[in-house]
Amino acid sequence: MIAFAALLERLAFTPSRNMKIALLKEYFSMASDPDRGYALAAMAGTLSFASAKPAMLRALAMERIDPQLFAWSYDYVGDLAETVALIWQADQNESSYAPPTLTEVVETLRDITRTEVPAVITGWLDSSHVSSRYALLKLITGSLRVGASARLAKTALAEMASLTPDEIEEVWHGLEAPYTPLFHWIEGKGPRPDPKDAPVFRPPMLAQPLEGVDLATFTPSEWRAEWKWDGIRVQLVATPDGERVYTRTAEDIGKAFPELLTVMSDIGSQVVLDGELLVIHDDEVAPFAILQQRLNRKAPTAAMLRDYPAGVRLYDILFEDGEDLRSLPFDLRRARLESWFARVQPPRMTLSELIPFSDFSELAVLRENARSEGIEGLMLKKADSLYVPGRPRGPWWKWKREPLTVDAVVMYAQRGHGKRSSFYSDFTFGLWRTVEDRRELVPIGKAYSGFTDEELKFLDKWVRDHTVGRFGPVREIEKNLVLEIAFDAAQYSSRHKSGVALRFPRVSRIRQDKPADEADTLEAFVTAFL
């Protein structure tokens, strides 16, 4: 537990991806089995045991500490598990016992009954130091935030064995904690784990943005065009061992979309399909914000299932009845997809239509006029392209429509992280609105990308020279600089004071030429984009 706790602590404060990978590699090579496998499971969120409720932790702490002192401390720290970890006074007799290993914690919690939990936890807290107590309490309350995604942990494992992360992904979902065969394979002590009939994830093929490419050099007849739908790219898998819904980063989101699992199980077909997850109302694709609400829930309510039904627009087929189709050219896979679809007629699924065209200028017009909900732009796929995992340059292009823009005023700034920790690089910007005859700025979003290094230097200096107030790490600045903000879509949002939110906002230009008074109004924004 000590090494795991130290790893968690370091990861939590490290913004750099490369450093996180280095820390993970160090841990995975130093820790023993099955500890490291349970650590990996904790990061991937695949551990399961009866978790403890916060009320129980509080009650345990109260047995040892004055309630008033506890209340002041909790008020100061603001996090229950952290407060208990810090405040815990070990029973002197117990503290001489060896602290529990991660394996002991995981396996004990899996096997004991709920009534035994408090006594077991008390013993562990007594024999552990503060950082282990913190990790332990976060783990058992099910609120462990690792500061490293499952994908990052797999990347670290892959690097240890000169594999690609995708090679780990292909076996991952056939394995379970504590992943001992995986570690043996990584260290060259065992064979590659065979997923057999497990519904494993297949790394998807991704497209490059269409930049620095001259479409005039392309032969239209060699290309296929589809709409680029604004949902979540998913992989649907059905094998004899079960059904899964994966995101393109291998996250299993089936529980959030049980209606899709039902369909996959009902169709009785063994397939791996590639498509876009969308909420579809009467054949209309709902805005991304609606899908977001479904994604935010681990399990949907009955009302959500009724009001926001999920569907999948199919792009591709990877496997059919055990046959790997990935080495077939796009046109042949498409034919297989269409014939499978016609034969099975799966509910909740639709085919992504191929858009006929004879030259690219036709497509350009379509792309610019595509302002309907749910369309982000176009996809161009080479007719003979094989299904290659990763993001190869050449066979597939995404041709997004031009971003929307708004002229907003910078209101607050905050320093970035890692390499940007000395630069004010996170900007909150707002639009004008009139309340009781008074004009005021109301924040509509934050941007921390889109600028060049030179522009960042300018913005950093501007912030420092025009600060009018400080709130902890946040600087309020003179409302005098206009930024042109590019964004992909606008939506209503109850989380923001302005009532609106932007998708993927970034700084597209610094408008020093524009007086702040002439920045856009919230009213005009709503009229134009909502």
Count the alpha carbons within 13 Å of 208 in the hemisphere toward its beta carbon.
12
Stretch that binds other proteins, among 9-17, 249-257, 379-387, 489-497 (CB under 8 A): 9-17
Q: Which of 283, 288, 289, 294 is nearest to 257 (CA)?
A: 294
Report how far residue 264's alpha carbon sits from residue 244's, in angstroms, rounded to the nearest whole number. 8
Tell me the three state secondary structure of residue 509. strand
How many residues of this chain bind other proteins (CB under 8 A)? 35
**Which regions of 136-204 does DSSP assign to beta strands (E)?**
none
Nearer to other proteins, 87 or 344 (CB): 87
> Contact with other proteins (CB under 8 A): which of 2, 56, 58, 77?
77
User: What letter represents residue 75's amino acid?
Assistant: D
Stretch that binds other proteins, among 69-77, 289-297, 433-441, 512-520 (CB under 8 A): 69-77
Percent helix, strand, coil in the chain (nearest 5)?
Answer: 40, 25, 35
Nearer to other proteins, 12 or 530 (CB): 12
Report how far residue 288's alpha carbon sits from residue 476's, in angstroms, rounded to the nearest whole number. 32
Nearer to other proteins, 76 or 219 (CB): 76
Residue span 437-476 as binding mask against other proteins, x where in contact by CB under 8 A, dash where not: -----------------------------------xx---
Residue 15 interacts with other proteins (CB under 8 A): yes or no: yes
Report how far residue 495's alpha carbon sits from residue 491's, in angstroms, rounded to the nearest whole number. 11
Report how far residue 325's alpha carbon sits from residue 347's, in angstroms, rounded to the nearest whole number. 23
| 149 phi and psi angles, rounded to 5 deg | -80, 165
Q: Which of 120, 112, 103, 244 is nearest to 177 (CA)?
A: 103
Measured in whole angstroms, how far is the alpha carbon of residue 344 from the centre of its chain? 32
Q: Which of 452, 459, 374 is nearest to 423 (CA)?
A: 459
Residue span 24-53 as binding mask against other proteins, x where in contact by CB under 8 A, dash where not: --x---------------------------
Report how far residue 257's alpha carbon sits from residue 162's, in angstroms, rounded to the nearest whole number. 35
CB of 62 to other proteins, least distance (A): 13
Report how far residue 468's alpha carbon sits from residue 475's, in angstroms, rounded to the nearest whole number. 7
Tokens of residue 129, six digits? 């130091």
> Contact with other proteins (CB under 8 A): which of 56, 86, 210, 328?
86
Stretch that binds other proteins, among 63-71, 167-175, 352-360, 404-412 (CB under 8 A): 63-71
Residue 92 interacts with other proteins (CB under 8 A): yes or no: no
> Contact with other proteins (CB under 8 A): which of 87, 163, 215, 304?
87
In the numeric block, the tokens 């876009």 are attached to 276
Stretch that binds other proteins, among 13-21, 36-44, 401-409, 478-486 (CB under 8 A): 13-21
Stretch that binds other proteins, among 6-14, 51-59, 220-228, 316-324 (CB under 8 A): 6-14
> Contact with other proteins (CB under 8 A): which of 46, 82, 163, 218?
82
Stretch that binds other proteins, among 234-242, 417-425, 448-456, 492-500 (CB under 8 A): 417-425
CB of 436 to other proteins, least distance (A): 35
Residue 132 interacts with other proteins (CB under 8 A): yes or no: no
CA dihedral 14, 16, 20, 26 (to 10 degrees): -100
> Contact with other proteins (CB under 8 A): which of 68, 113, 345, 358?
68
* Rg of the chain over all Cα atoms, to the nearest angstrom: 27
Residue 524 interacts with other proteins (CB under 8 A): yes or no: no
Stretch that binds other proteins, among 28-36, 67-75, 190-198, 518-526 (CB under 8 A): 67-75
Residue 72 interacts with other proteins (CB under 8 A): yes or no: yes
Q: Is there a contact between 133 and 74 (Cβ–Cβ < 8 Å)?
A: no
Residue span 266-285 as binding mask against other proteins, x where in contact by CB under 8 A, dash where not: --------------------
Tell me the three state secondary structure of residue 304. helix
Q: Is there a contact between 407 and 519 (Cβ–Cβ < 8 Å)?
A: yes
Distances in Å between the alpha carbon of 520 and those of 444, 451, 476, 514? Answer: 12, 20, 20, 11
Count of other CB atoms within 10 angstroms of residue 404: 18
In the numeric block, the tokens 């991704």 are attached to 206
Residue 66 interacts with other proteins (CB under 8 A): yes or no: yes
CB of 232 to other proteins, least distance (A): 29
> Contact with other proteins (CB under 8 A): which of 83, 103, 132, 155?
83
> Contact with other proteins (CB under 8 A): which of 30, 69, 119, 354?
69
Nearer to other proteins, 348 or 415 (CB): 415
> Contact with other proteins (CB under 8 A): which of 14, 95, 164, 270?
14
Report how far residue 277's alpha carbon sits from residue 274's, in angstroms, rounded to the nearest whole number. 10
Residue 73 interacts with other proteins (CB under 8 A): yes or no: yes
Q: Which residues bind other proteins (CB under 8 A)?
A: 6, 10, 12-15, 19, 22-23, 26, 65-66, 68-70, 72-73, 76-79, 82-83, 86-87, 89, 129-130, 415, 417, 419, 421-422, 472-473
